[in-house]
Every structure is written in C-alpha cells, then in structure tokens.
A = this chain, B = another copy of it.
Amino acid sequence: MSLNSFGHLFRVTTWGESHGPALGATVDGCPPNVPVTPEMLQVWLDKRRPGQNKNTTQRNEPDAVKILSGVFEGKTTGTPIQLMIENTDQRSRDYGEISQTFRPGHADITYHQKYGNRDYRGGGRSSARETAARVAAGGVARAAIKTLVPGLEIKGYMTRMGEMGIDRSTFDWDAIDQNDFWIPNGAATAQTWEEYLQALRKAHDSVGAEIEVVARGLPAGLGAPIYGKLDTDLAAAMMSINAVKGVEIGEGMAAARLKGTENADEIFLGDDGQPVYSSNHAGGILGGISTGQDVVVRFAVKPTSSILSPRKSIRIDGSATEVITKGRHDPCVGIRAVPVAEAMMACVVLDHLLLHRGQIGENQGRIG
C-alpha cells in the first residue's frame, strides 16, 4: 500500500515536488512489447504544459520526459517504467514569507499540521505540477490500450468555467482540439470564454471549471463489484486531481431529481447482435461494470486559491496576516485539468482491461 500510488495491475506511483530537481512516475505492470517512445509521451505533456497560451500560467517549463527504465529498443519490457521530468525553471527567489504563511484554500496549512515539515517552494508536493507525471503515465496507458482495444478513444473537454457553460445542442467533437479551452463549441464561444477569463485575471480573481471525460469504444464487462467498481476507481482517480471537489458518472448529482421512469436506459439488440440502449443516464456503467456505451465522467475544479486579491490568514507562529499570492498562476486551473483527466481515464481503463483479462480471460458471457 503506497498512498502515492493508484491502480491494481497497471500501477502508477508519482513522486516529486514542484521546485525539487525532478518529478516523475514509476509505472508498474504495463504489458510488454508496447511501442513507447519519449516523443509519444511528449505529445500529451505538451497539451498540459503551462505557458502554451495566454490563458494558462506563464511559467515556461519544457516538461521534457525522460524514460529511465522499462523500455528497451522502443518497446516496453514488462518491468517498471520510470518517467522523469526535470524541473528546469526554478527561479531563485526569497521564500521567507511564504515559508511561514498559510495561503487560504491551499494545502499549506494541512501539510504543516500533518507533517510539521513541508517543501513550501511552489507548493511542493501539493503543486499542480505533480499532474505532469500523471500525464506521462497516461501516455504509456494510451499506448498499451491501443494494442489491446485499437478503436478505444478517450477525450476530455471543458463544460463550464464560472458563468460560462457549453451549448450541448451544438456539441462538436472535432472542435475540442481547436480552441484554448478544449470546449466542444465553435470559435465564437471560445472567444467569449477568453474575454470572460481575461476580465477575471485583470480583477485579480480566478474561477472554477467543470470537465467531462468520455471513453468511447470500451468493451462491456470491465469493472468489478463491489469496491473495485469501474466508477469507484474513476471517482477516486478524478478526485485525486488537485482542486477537484466533485465527481459525477452519467447523470451524476442530477440523478437525485429523477424518477425511475425517466432514468431507465431501455435495452434493445443492435444490428451487430450487441445490446444498444435508448439513452445513457448510467454513464456507461451498471453495477460498477461497463455496458459498452460511452463511459462519461464529469468533475468540478475549484478556483485556484492563489490570487492577487488579499485574503486573511495566519502564520505558523499563529499571528494574523494578509496573503496576496504573486507569481505565475492560472486564473483557471481547470483548463489544464483536461489532459490530466484524460490521462487518469486512460490509466483506469487499462488497469481494468488487464484485471478483466486476468480473472476472466476470454470466457466472458455472451448475449444471443
């Protein structure tokens, strides 16, 4: 049991602090003979990387991933894969005040209360920078999934940023990669979102976000009762991302308002002999096991607590203070959560593919 690990058979342990020499992920249990190169992983890291557009932090880290083990001649060997990202942009600065002060809404105070010792530089272990390691690990998971279920697709997008919400009636899967917010709407909408965010930035404020991730093409039968449910693992995976405060599967919290007659996804037999459903209120998971429909996960990210507006707080010695967080911070950390969530989805999905194969092999139940 490592509290910095997740996954059962495909197991990821992340390590590292924001301003230490490096951070990374130790990935164990990957199938052998999967083509993996640093370039393949870099694609996903570049998507998450700060400094790429004016809506995210201006910190400029190349976030170049190195593969230190577990890959030989371009293919995984089945042994642990060590993925390292060196921290290159560690500006020399005076941490005197921040080392003694707790930022409201930040993990500063709880790390201190737990450990009595924290790396206060850039948030240390609690920095969102840790998510780079997840994205690298997710790249490995994606590569392995490709060899197991070639058509499986994983896609994340923003559905809300403060007062801005997407228009589901014009949902455009292809638009997602064509704007800075990963929204499934056109450029005009993205332009509105950008103006909203720049206004917030100028007001020295930040804002929350809602992200949705979909796994399409997942076979039926993945997951396991009762505590290794696919949705249980997905909920834990998303909740573990920095600043996430809620996770939903399918209807999510709205299910509390529904009636049974509204919520039922009726079942038919499709032309290919597989079940098809009249709807997907369940988000592709029944009893913790995938139905073969789209698996739909949604989560909310709180607004970053690192803002330029002064907030009341205390110091380690108990004295009162006011905190203004200067530095390079995203007004909406939710934007960068999109590739992180995709990575977590990929890791959980691969893990359950391997678990299912381990227990069941090719002997799953048939219909028709």
Contact = CB atoms under 8 A, between A and B. Distances in A.
B312 A257 contact: no
Interface string A307-330: 101011110111110000000000
Given A31-B361, A232-B236, A245-B255, A311 B4 contact: no
Interface stretch (A43-51, A149-157, A172-180, A203-211): A203-211
A10 to B, nearest CB: 9
| Closest A-B pairs by Cβ, 10 of them | A107-B287, A358-B358, A3-B228, A116-B365, A318-B368, A206-B260, A110-B289, A246-B252, A15-B80, A210-B256
A251 interface: yes
Most buried by B among A75, A79, A291: A79
Interface string A1-33: 111111011010111110011111010111111
A98 interface: no
Given A33-B117, A235-B239, A263-B105, A246 B248 contact: yes
A117 B78 contact: yes
Interface residues of A, number: 162
Interface stretch (A57-65, A182-190, A218-226): A218-226
A169 interface: no
B16 A360 contact: no
Given A33-B116, A106-B287, A245-B251, 9 more contacts: A1-B8, A1-B11, A32-B359, A113-B365, A163-B257, A205-B260, A208-B258, A231-B239, A316-B367
A52 interface: no
Given A124-B72, A246-B252, A334-B256, A115 B33 contact: yes
Contacts of A224: 3, 114
A216 interface: no
Contacts of A354: 358-359
Contact of A358 (B9, B253, B260, B307): B9
A250 to B, nearest CB: 6
A66 interface: yes
A240 B246 contact: no
